[in-house]
Amino acid sequence: MFGVITMQFHSFRDAKQLIHDMVEKLRTILSDAIKRRGQAFLVVSGGRTPIDLFKELALADLPWEKVVITLADERCVNLFDPHRNELLVREFLLQEKAKKAKFISLFDEKEDPLDHLNEVNSQIDSLPMFDAVVLGMGEDGHTASLFPCSDELSAGLDDKANAVLIVKPRTASFQRVSLSKRRLLNSSTIFLHLVGQRKRVILEQAMATNNPEILPICAILNAPDANVQVMYAPSDEEKECIL
């Protein structure tokens, strides 16, 4: 029996409107999860795109001490390196009201990477279904650190993969730790946060191609029974051109 693809596309006037809407959706999802089982589990992504989302989400009225947050992927660099996704989360999300949330790190530079990977894999795999996952997408179609150029892509897309894996992309800097497709899809709701026309073009290519070996985001967009919400807005520059 085949599952049903439930991807929905939401287009917004600008990034500010998108963020306001997504924060309200996330607040509702996390609040409902806490009422239902006493805790909520949220996965976020790094990069520059989610910074304003983090800032606004940090102000949301929630019992944040009951929220567990982790990342979709992490660069294997020290905690204070500006390329570290965890640093971004600590600077912009784990602030204000959200500073009480629990954060699970994917990488510890003080430990042997493989030993720590086993520890993190056990920790992430032991978590229940995520309540919300917020993903981004690169112009090569990668999401989390599932890169089309990496030798580890097939392992990351395997339905029986571990929760996390080490990835060594050929066209991006730094070794990474990434959640696998299997673990990312184990979520009640998956948001794909996209800003800019170029990202929309890649999205349309992914939907038409449906080949995750070429555009890994296909594995998320076309996953049967996954509740994928694509949140799109033009960039500020594109909005000005339209006006």
Q: For residue 134, is pLDDT > 80?
A: yes
Q: For residue 5, is pLDDT > 60?
A: no
Q: What is residue 159's predicted lDDT score, i.e. its pLDDT?
A: 96
Q: For residue 239, is pLDDT > 80?
A: no
Band (pLDDT 50/70/90 cuts) for residue 229 is very high
* 184-218 pLDDT tens trace: 999 999 999 999 999 999 999 999 988 999 999 99
Q: What is residue 2's predicted lDDT score, i.e. its pLDDT?
A: 47
Of 156, 217, 212, residue with least CA distance to 183 = 156
Determine the Cα–Cα distance for residues 222 and 25; give it in Å rounded to an integer: 22
Q: Which percentage of the chain shows pLDDT scores above 70?
A: 96
Of 86, 9, 17, residue with least CA distance to 46 = 86
Q: What is residue 198's predicted lDDT score, i.e. its pLDDT?
A: 96
Q: For residue 145, give its domain range.
A: 8-236
Q: What is residue 1's predicted lDDT score, i.e. its pLDDT?
A: 37
* Segment 159-187 mean pLDDT: 95
Within-domain flag for 205: yes
Domain count, the chain: 1
Angle CA(100)–CA(103)–CA(105) in degrees, nearest 5? Answer: 160
Band (pLDDT 50/70/90 cuts) for residue 172 is confident
Q: Which residues contact 185 (CB under 8 A, 6 or more apart)?
A: 220, 223, 226
Domain at 131, CATH number:
3.40.50.1360
Q: For residue 228, is pLDDT > 70?
A: yes
Q: What is residue 110's predicted lDDT score, i.e. its pLDDT?
A: 86
Which amino acid, 187? Answer: S
Q: Dmax of the chain from CA atoms?
A: 54
Q: For residue 166, is pLDDT > 90?
A: yes
Determine the Cα–Cα distance for residues 170 and 152; give it in Å rounded to an integer: 11
Strand 176-179: give its sheet, edge to edge: 73-75, 176-179, 164-167
* 60-86 pLDDT tens trace: 999 999 999 999 999 999 999 999 999
Backbone dihedral angles phi then psi of residue 234, each to the nearest 5 degrees: -70, 160
Within-domain flag for 204: yes
Q: For residue 96, is pLDDT > 70?
A: yes
Within-domain flag for 1: no
Determine the Cα–Cα distance for residues 197 and 201; give it in Å rounded to an integer: 6
Q: What is residue 238's predicted lDDT score, i.e. its pLDDT?
A: 72
At 194, which helix (H) or strand (E)?
Answer: strand 187-195
Within-domain flag for 153: yes
Q: What is residue 113's predicted lDDT score, i.e. its pLDDT?
A: 73
Of 185, 199, 186, residue with least CA distance to 142 = 199
Which residues are paired to 235 by β-bridges?
A: none
Looking up tokens 């032991």 gives 126
Of 20, 13, 70, residue with least CA distance to 43 = 70
Within-domain flag for 47: yes
pTM: 0.94
Q: Which residues contact 126 (CB under 8 A, 6 or more apart)?
A: none
Band (pLDDT 50/70/90 cuts) for residue 114 is confident
Least reliable range by pLDDT among 33-37, 71-75, 238-242: 238-242
Backbone dihedral angles phi then psi of residue 193, each to the nearest 5 degrees: -95, 110
Q: Are 73 and 178 in contact (CB under 8 A)?
A: yes
- The tokens describing 49, both together, are 């795109």
Within-domain flag for 242: no
Q: What is residue 241's predicted lDDT score, i.e. its pLDDT?
A: 56
DSSP 62: S
Within-domain flag for 243: no
Mean pLDDT in the chain? 94
Q: For residue 4, is pLDDT > 60?
A: no
Within-domain flag for 69: yes
